[in-house]
Amino acid sequence: ASSAFSRLQNLRGHFHPPDSNNKVGLDGACGGLIKVSPEVSEALSCGRAVVALESTIISHGMPYPKNFETAKEVEVIVRMNGAVPATIAILDGIPCVGLSMEELERLAILGTRAQKVARRDIAHVVATRGNGATTVSATMFFASKVGISIFVTGGIGGVHRHGEHTMDISSDLTELGRTPVTVFSAGVKSILDIPRTLEYLETQGVCVATYKTDEFPAFFTETSGCKVPCRVDSPQDYANMKLKLDTGILIAVPIPKEHSASGSIIESAIQRALKEARDKNITGNAETPFLLARVNELTGGASLASSILSLVF
């Protein structure tokens, strides 16, 4: 048997450290196994630091080959900081934790032909042997199943504007309420409703903290006008908060100073695009693609550059 398959982990019940004899699992008719890469498996069994990375940003966030370059660059940064990166995606129906370069490039080339997979989509993509790029919710789910407790990403999903009517609330928020993984993120984009996102996280019992700042950041800018009750200033402060509460933690790390000027330009473009969307009555699931395309036009592509930067810091 190939070493990759000796690392297959089943998903029934509690986590057992990766072990070639250990095959318990998701318990589906088609197996429901998780493939953990040899490197990630090894790191987990030796207790080394492992950082989970999502893949929707690769398939749906940027075009090829920029997405492949960025994904590789993020992995290099994780390594430079002494941890092992574990990019998570579903390939041919198999949830994979830790991708080889070939797998990473395959996903980057697939782009939007890979399905965007939130928690609710996992069963369907596995059952149909499809290819899926995991959002924050699905990435947290798989990370937690194999024993990874740290996850780094750019922006997380939130409560959409008018979410009080549409009920469009990202499952990232409910996942944070039910899965004990810490997500480090640049906050929530202002195209979402940031105050309601924070209210919803409170309802879900999620500890939300800012890193070396008092205000919750808005991805492109350091400020959102929203305060959160908790601030951490060091890795030790964070470590002290890691209690066994069975819920997630969100640590918001603002855009670095050197990029915040371009962040502000993008933010103004967002505000303008939002007004145009209102004037043109563009709503529902047409709204986000409209906003992102319009912001890109208004800033001459600077928002794409900045999306990449926010991922890379």
Binding residues (CB under 6 A) for ligand PSU: these are 54, 56-57, 61, 118, 135-136, 154-157, 170-172, 189, 219
Known catalytic residue: 227?
Answer: no
Known catalytic residue: 54?
Answer: yes
Which residue's CB is nearer to ligand PSU, number 105 or number 172? Answer: 172
CB of 173 to ligand PSU, least distance (A): 9
Q: Does residue 121 belong to the site contacting Mn ion (CB under 5 A)?
A: no
Task: Give the C-alpha separation, 59 to 108, whole Å.
Answer: 6
Q: Does residue 168 belong to the site contacting Mn ion (CB under 5 A)?
A: yes
CB of 45 to ligand PSU, least distance (A): 28
Quick one: what does residue 61 bind among ligand PSU, Mn ion, none, with the CB cut-off 5 to 8 Å set by partner type?
A: ligand PSU
Choose the binding region for Mn ion from 115-123, 160-168, 183-191, 253-261 (rule: CB under 5 A).
160-168
Quick one: what does residue 98 bind among ligand PSU, Mn ion, none, with the CB cut-off 5 to 8 Å set by partner type?
A: none
Which residue's CB is nearer to ligand PSU, number 118 or number 298? Answer: 118
CB of 271 to ligand PSU, least distance (A): 16
Task: Give the C-alpha separation, 22 to 81, whole Å.
Answer: 30
Which residue's CB is nearer to ligand PSU, number 207 or number 291? Answer: 291
CB of 186 to ligand PSU, least distance (A): 8
Query: Catalytic: which of 35, 145, 175, 189?
Result: 189
Which residue's CB is nearer to ligand PSU, number 157 or number 217? Answer: 157
Q: Which residues are catalytic?
A: 54, 189
Q: Which residues bind Mn ion (CB under 5 A)?
A: 168
